[in-house]
Amino acid sequence: MTGVAPHRQANTDGQDAMVDSRDIFKGLKVVDFSWVGVGPMAAQVFALYGAEVIRVESASRLDTFRNGQPLAPGTGPDRSAYWANVNRDKLGMTLNLRHPGAPDVVRRLVEHADVVTESFAPGFMHEIGMDYESLRKLNPKMIMISMSMEGQGGPHLGYKGFGLVLQATAGITGLTGWPNRPPVGTGVAYTDWFATHLAASAVICALEHRDRTGEGQYIDLSQLESTIWGLDDAIVRYSATGEVMTANGNRNERAVPHGVFRCAGEDRWCAISVLEDAQWDRLRTVMGYPAWARDPAFATFDGRQAREDEIEAGIAAWTAPLVAGEVAERLQAAGVPAYPVNDARDVQSDPQLAARGHFWQIEHPVIGPMTWDAPAYRLSGTPAYPQAPAPKLGQHNEYVYRDLLGYSEQEFVELMVQRVAE
Partner 1 sequence: MSDGPLQAYRVIDLAGPYGMLGTRVMAGLGADVIRVEPPGGDPLRQRPPLDSAGVSTYWHQMTAGKKSVVIDLDSEAGRAAFWGLLESADVLFESGQRARLESLGFGWQQISRRCPDLVYTTISPFGLEGPRASWLGGDLVAMAAGGLMYLCGDPDRAPLRVSVEQASAQVGLQGMVGTLIALRARKVGARGQRVDVSMQEAISNTLGNSQQSFVMDGTIFQRAGGGRATGGADNRLVWACADGYVAWGRNPASMGLLHQWMLDEGVEPGFDAEAWAQRPVAGPGAPTREETQALDARIAAFFQRFPKMYLYEEGQGRGAMMCPVSTVTDLLANQQLNHRRFFHQVPQPGLPTPLTQPGAPFKMSVSPWSVGPSPQLGEHTSAVLTAHGAGAAGGGR
Catalytic residues: 192
| Distance (Å, whole) CA 309 – CA 205 | 48
Question: Considering only residues 4, 156, 289, 408, which one is a binding residue for partner 1 as defined by CB under 8 A?
Answer: 156
**Using the rule CB under 8 A, is 283 a contact of partner 1?**
no
**Using the rule CB under 8 A, is 273 a contact of partner 1?**
yes
Question: Considering only residues 98, 127, 140, 238, which one is a binding residue for partner 1 as defined by CB under 8 A?
Answer: 238
Annotate 143-172 with DSSP letters as a single string. EEEEEESS-SSSTTTT----HHHHHHHTTT
CB nearer partner 1, residue 40 or residue 259: 259
- Count CB-CB contacts under 10 A for residue 378: 13
Question: Considering only residues 58, 64, 134, 252, which one is a binding residue for partner 1 as defined by CB under 8 A?
Answer: 252
The CB-of-212 to partner 1 minimum distance in angstroms stands at 7
Scanning residues 24 to 43, which ones bind partner 1 (CB under 8 A)?
24-26
3 state SS of 215 = coil
CB nearer partner 1, residue 99 or residue 237: 237
Question: Considering only residues 275, 323, 413, 416, which one is a binding residue for partner 1 as defined by CB under 8 A?
Answer: 275
Q: DSSP class of residue 5?
A: P
Amino acid at 14: G
130 with 144: CB under 8 angstroms? no
- Least Cα distance to 21 among 9, 38, 39 occurs for 9
The CB-of-249 to partner 1 minimum distance in angstroms stands at 7
- Strand ranges (E), 58-97: 91-94
**Using the rule CB under 8 A, is 226 a contact of partner 1?**
yes
The CB-of-108 to partner 1 minimum distance in angstroms stands at 24
- Least Cα distance to 47 among 398, 340, 336, 385 occurs for 385
- Least Cα distance to 420 among 97, 124, 130 occurs for 97
**Using the rule CB under 8 A, is 13 a contact of partner 1?**
yes
CB nearer partner 1, residue 222 or residue 395: 222
The CB-of-374 to partner 1 minimum distance in angstroms stands at 7
Piece of 19-27, 96-104, 110-118, 291-299 that binds partner 1 (CB under 8 A)? 19-27
Q: Where are the alpha helices (H) located in 269-339, listed in sequence order?
A: 277-286, 301-306, 308-319, 324-334
Q: What DSSP element (H or E) covers 110? A: helix 102-112
Scanning residues 42 to 101, which ones bind partner 1 (CB under 8 A)?
45, 49, 68-70, 72, 81-82, 84-85
Question: Considering only residues 38, 106, 142, 199, which one is a binding residue for partner 1 as defined by CB under 8 A?
Answer: 199
Strand partners, 116: 31, 144
The CB-of-396 to partner 1 minimum distance in angstroms stands at 23
Scanning residues 111 to 150, which ones bind partner 1 (CB under 8 A)?
132, 145, 150
| Distance (Å, whole) CA 375 – CA 416 | 37
The CB-of-398 to partner 1 minimum distance in angstroms stands at 29
Q: Which residues contact 266 (CB under 8 A, 6 or more apart)?
A: none
Amino acid at 379: L
Question: Considering only residues 5, 244, 291, 417, which one is a binding residue for partner 1 as defined by CB under 8 A?
Answer: 244
The CB-of-318 to partner 1 minimum distance in angstroms stands at 15
Scanning residues 294 to 353, which ones bind partner 1 (CB under 8 A)?
332, 335-348, 350-353
3 state SS of 306 = helix
| Distance (Å, whole) CA 289 – CA 281 | 9
Question: Considering only residues 59, 62, 138, 247, which one is a binding residue for partner 1 as defined by CB under 8 A?
Answer: 247
**Using the rule CB under 8 A, is 395 a contact of partner 1?**
no
Scanning residues 177 to 196, which ones bind partner 1 (CB under 8 A)?
177-178, 181-190, 192-194
- Least Cα distance to 336 among 268, 261, 281 occurs for 281
